[in-house]
Amino acid sequence: MTGSSPQAPVLVLNAGSSSLKYQVVVPESAEVLAGGTVERIGEDGSGVADHAAAVRTVTDQLDAAGVDLARTGLRAVGHRVVHGGPDFSDPVLLDDAVVADIRDLVPLAPLHNPGALAGIEAARDAFADVAQVAVFDTAFFASLPAAAATYAIPKEVSEEHRLRRYGFHGTSHRYVSRAVADLVGRPLESFTQVVLHLGNGCSASAVDGGVAVDTSMGLTPLQGLVMGTRSGDVDPAVFTFLHQQAGMSVADIDTMLNKRSGLKGLAGANDFREVLARADDGDADARLALDVYVHRLRHYVGAYTAVLGGLDVLTFTAGVGENSPVLRAAVVANLGRLGIAVDPARNEARSREARVISPDGSPVTVTVVPTNEELEIARQAAALLERHGG
Ligand code: AMP
């Protein structure tokens, strides 16, 4: 595998603690040659003992799918790494020193970085001759101004423990904000945008001239919008209260806020479609869950319009944002005085393409742009190799 052909694909790996998602994609054409997920890594009876076995399963699946990497060449392996900490603001070629730096970040992302590290080590063994690139979910938000990134807690505490707002879903926000410029036909540098990434996890970003200036997630992906199972913003004193008054352990509270809250906590279902269906059937809990979800979104749209000093483009992306006209209409309802509105027919038209859904001549252009994190990782990996001379 020489990796020298310009059209050679990139293998994109997204390793969690017990799953490994992969896609083989050509950065230039966006052609996907193969993709899939290996699940239940390390679980009893799954037959996939560890991440090394999972990478072997990937190569077996590629063989079975007729993807011959020896023939096409493999340009790089691109790894999604959730937390890049204070130092990684760009993709980086993986070597032993970088792997050690990522390991050093495990305390900041104990749920996420260990899985990524296991995937990186397995892939470095399996594809020893191929360049390996880490692409960080936090990197796009390394540009946040100090005013947006700093928590108002004692400076020495933040400094000692590296506490700040890092932001996540950065690969998606970066990809989508650039695709918006293509869609609306304006130079990226020339306009302001808010991107709402609404999937199982949800986050909002404020982007000025292509540069991220605010985002709703914080030290961890728990802060901000209401999500499938995560609470998003709560008074931090909820933690103290539940610990001291309700006798819950810190671990239980953490699990509650990350896994049993959000839509699931309010309506009993984390899947947005199911919550919508229950609300349509008259379920009051589901209705309230949607109201809280929408209220929080409107709060952030308004806040970021002010942070940006005026908004040019508002974009919806990810599973909910791309597919739910009802949600999009609810977010922009009565925002005409801010120049934000959707055309009902455009909003309701089904499409897999990036599209404008606001009326012609609207002060704020509202768009729907499908995200593609795998393609963004492949492109960033390829661009990094090009800078390093192929
Ligand atoms: P993602 O994490 O980007 O895959 O998004 C998953 C979320 O998108 C789930 O909550 C789904 O219920 C939601 N979703 C997918 N399709 C639709 C749809 N047609 N209408 C509303 N929500 C949807």
Q: What is the 3-state secondary structure (H, E, C) of 117-148?
A: HHHHHHHHHHCCCCEEEEEECCHHHHHCCHHH
Q: DSSP code of 186?
A: S
Alpha helices in 245-349 (DSSP H): 250-259, 262-267, 272-280, 284-307, 318-323, 325-332, 344-348
H-helix or E-strand spanning residue 365 = strand 365-368
Task: Kindly list the protein residues whose Cβ atom lies closer than 6 A to any atom of ligand 1.
Answer: 199-200, 228, 271-273, 318-320, 323-324
Looking at CATH, the fold of the domain delimited by 10-136 is given as: Nucleotidyltransferase; domain 5 (3.30.420)
Q: What is the distance between the terminal CA atoms of the chain, rounded to a whole angstrom?
A: 14
272 among annotated binding-site residues: yes
Ligand 1 pocket: which of 14, 200, 271, 272 to mutate (most atoms within 8 A of CB): 272
To the query of whether residue 129 is one of the catalytic residues in this protein, the response is: no
| pLDDT interval class at 109 (50, 70, 90) | confident
The rounded Cα 212 to chain-centroid distance in angstroms is: 14
Taking a C-beta distance cutoff of 8 angstroms, is the pair 148, 213 a contact?
A: yes
Pick the CATH number of 184-373 from 3.30.420.40, 3.40.50.620, 3.30.70.2190, 3.10.129.10: 3.30.420.40
Helix (H, G, I), strand (E, B) or coil at 36: strand
Q: What is the pLDDT of residue 390?
A: 61
Mean pLDDT computed over 313-326: 98
- The ranges of the chain annotated as CATH 3.30.420.40 are 10-136, 184-373
Taking a C-beta distance cutoff of 8 angstroms, is the pair 231, 262 a contact?
A: yes
Cα three-residue angle 251-255-257, rounded to 5 degrees = 120
Q: What is the pLDDT of residue 2?
A: 46
The 10s digit of each residue's pLDDT in 142-178 is 999 999 999 999 999 999 999 999 999 999 999 999 9
Average pLDDT, the chain: 95
Q: What is the pLDDT of residue 60?
A: 94
| pLDDT interval class at 3 (50, 70, 90) | very low
Of all protein residues, whose CA lies closest to atom 23 belonging to ligand 1? 320
229 CA to centre of ligand 1 in angstroms: 13
323 CA to centre of ligand 1 in angstroms: 7
Mean pLDDT computed over 241-256: 96
| CA atoms of 90 and 134, how far apart (whole Å) | 9
Helices then strands, counting H and E runs in the chain, come out as 16, 12
Q: What is the pLDDT of residue 323?
A: 98
270 among annotated binding-site residues: no
Of 107-116, 193-202, 234-243, 356-365, minimum mean pLDDT range:
107-116
